[in-house]
Amino acid sequence: MKLESGTNRLEFLRWVACAATLLFSAVGIQGLPVAPGPAGNTPPGSQASDKTPHPLDGARSAALTSDRGRPNIVYILADDLGWADVGYHGPDIKTPHIDQLAAAGARLESFYVMPVCTPTRAALMTGRYPIRYGLQFNVLRPASQHGLPVEERTLPQALHEAGYETAICGKWHLGHAKPELLPLRRGFDHQYGLFLGMCDYFTHMEGGAFDWHRNDKVCRDEGYTTHLIAKEAIRLIEQRDQRKPLFLYLPFNAVHGPIQVPESYGKPYGHLTGQRRIYAGMVAAMDEGIGQVLAALEKEGLGGNTLVIFSSDNGGLIGKGEPAASNGPLRDGKGSLYEGGTRVPAFATWPGRIPAGTIVKEPLHIVDWYPTLLKLAGAPLEQKLPIDGRDAWATITDGRPSPHEALLLNTVGRMGAIRAGDWKLLRNALTAEGEDPEGAAHKKNASKEERRKKNAGPDVFELFNLAQDPCEKTNLAAQQPDKVRDLSGRLEAFARAAVPPTLSRKPEGFKTPKVWGEFD
């Protein structure tokens, strides 16, 4: 049997005890000091790149990989996972494998992503902000004809060229309308999973068509997608080319809607109700799959030389009604530039290379993994298109400051957000429900006249000191005009450098195929 619930938007219930909850997330572990990043040498518009038992301890002899100095890399990307929906951040949902893995390495407590799925995945794959190639706004839809531009060098492409075997098991969501947009044409040796942003967990259908594939061809494997993704990852680990290091990209579609899970996973969460109970089961199923993948690495003798990275692609989905996800004390959720939309649970673990029990509070961004991983893999960073990410290895392993002077959270039109050190500035921000905290003109149901007046009016800024106010409750813009002027100037430099967003429009005469990613 399976449990299901609707995917209507849920209203976020902010925790009252904000400070207490934040203390809970770091109890008993020494944190690194928060300090502004060093001044960069390039402008914001064109940045450049530069003891707890370990769950994988049993296989410290990394000699089974042919390249001893280069790690195997496993990047686990959860989908729409809330800040408080891992055990080490909140009490509701048990995630023993995730928690053990996080404790054995470095928890990245100020790790930023984009507000929604496609832009985050593009940023990880390229090391470049999505403003550089038009994917900064919204997500790819089933009828979308575009994707990650083929001119972009991708992480698997660079690792493949450096001698890695590369595989993706899970959700792609970077283009499916043309053969050149599919994973095997973007640097992966192996592909398994879905191309679109979501599908039914049991039938693998979305928008009236089938969406499950192996090596870019339709695959009729039956089962719950979370189980299938973990099973395929284990198969690839066991059957890998032992002459090469492995890059395994594991983007689960869990816990994105539809809210579905086999009934047995929801039973331990009878104290929760409605969508929250089913969602908790989905998280538990993903945690179980992660544990199985870790066990496979251990069995194959790869644990000691495998870097495991985990993050969500954006904050948990919130909205009207009973909440399924929880972003804990953080403000707002998926689709928003507030902390609940862009700051996500994340960590990195590598035995002997990343000290266990580390807490990193310095701001980092998902674009940073691109240059960091290429350097660890011995791959060249030189490329035609400039990289926004910075090498974050010293920040993660040695307590150094953030490699960024400023992090772009996004800029689209007159909206945007940027973080520099402890300070965060938002311009004309919307909530995840599309509401303007400062007025009615940005609501989804706002009239054209309301929007025209708002767009013609002055910008509305919000400024927060995240070290003192991580829940973004106190707007300091009026008290800190110089800081607003500085950060708004940096944000504007990014905005001027942005290319126009490519919008997802259904082409005239579009017909849904029987299988997504198949072509006439």
* CATH number, domain containing residue 457: 3.30.1120.10
Q: How far apart are CA 363 and CA 343, in angstroms?
A: 10
Q: What is the mean pLDDT of residues 391-414?
A: 97
In a shared domain, residues 300 and 417: no
Instruction: Read off the pTM.
Output: 0.87
In a domain, 267, yes or no: yes
Q: Which segment of 220-224, 275-279, 410-414, 430-434 scores lowest on mean pLDDT?
A: 430-434
Does the annotation mark 173 as catalytic? yes
Q: Among positive and negative, which fits the CA dihedral 203, 208, 213, 219?
A: positive
For residue 13, pLDDT over 70 is answered with no
Write out the residue range of the structural domain in which residue 259 sits: 30-405
Q: Does one domain contain both 122 and 212?
A: yes
Residues 274 and 303 in one domain: yes
Same-domain status, 280 and 258: yes
Query: Where is average pLDDT lowest: 47-56, 71-80, 242-251?
Result: 47-56
% the chain with pLDDT above 90: 78
Phi/psi class of residue 170: alpha, beta or left (left: φ > 0; alpha: ψ in -120 to 50)?
Answer: left
CA 415 and chain centroid, separation: 21
The mean per-residue pLDDT over the stretch 192-220 comes to 98
* Set 54, 89, 97, 117: catalytic member: 117
Q: Which of 54, 160, 173, 213 is catalytic?
A: 173
Distance linking the first and last C-alpha atoms of the chain: 37
In a domain, 145, yes or no: yes
Which CATH number belongs to the domain containing residue 368 in this structure?
A: 3.40.720.10
Is 256 labeled as catalytic in the residue annotation?
A: no
Asked if residue 377 and residue 480 are part of one domain, the reply reads no
Cα–Cα distance, 38 to 265 (Å, whole number): 46
Residue 84 lies in a domain: yes
Classify residue 397: in a domain, yes or no.
Answer: yes
Burial of 342 (0-12, 13-18, 19+ CB in 10 A): buried
- CA distance linking residue 28 with residue 16, whole number of Å: 22
Which helix (H) or strand (E) is 259 found in, with range? Answer: strand 259-262
Residues 417 and 383 in one domain: no
Mean local confidence (pLDDT), 28-39: 30
Task: Tell me whether residue 118 is in a domain.
Answer: yes
355 and 441 in one domain? no
User: Residue 264: how many CB atoms within 10 A of its CB?
Assistant: 13
Do residues 434 and 358 both lie within one domain?
A: no
Q: Which domain-ending residue is among 350, 372, 405?
A: 405
Which of 158, 166, 118 has its CA nearest to residue 138?
118
Are residue 310 and residue 426 in the same domain, yes or no?
no
Structural domain ending residue among the three candidates 352, 384, 405: 405
Residue 389: inside a domain? yes
Q: Which of 18-32, 104-118, 180-194, 473-487 has the lowest mean pLDDT?
A: 18-32
- Mean pLDDT, to the nearest integer, of 75-89? 98
Let me know if residue 360 belongs to a domain.
yes
Half-sphere exposure of 357 (CA within 13 A, CB side): 7
Number of domains in the chain: 2
Residues 73 and 129 in one domain: yes
**Contact between 410 and 416 (Cβ < 8 Å):** yes
The DSSP-derived string for 108-161 is ETTEE--SSHHHHHHHHHHSS-GGGTT--SS---TT----S-TTS--HHHHHHH
Q: Looking at 382, 405, 428, which one is the last position of a domain?
A: 405
Asked whether residue 13 is assigned to any structural domain, the reply reads no
Looking at the fold, whether 276 and 333 belong to one and the same domain comes out as yes
Q: Check residue 95 and give its pLDDT.
A: 98
CA distances from 323 to 187, 263, 344, 390 (A): 38, 19, 17, 36
Question: Are 493 and 44 within 8 A, CB to CB?
Answer: yes
The answer on 395 and 479 residing in a single domain is: no
pLDDT for the residue 434? 59
Secondary structure letter of residue 439 according to DSSP: B
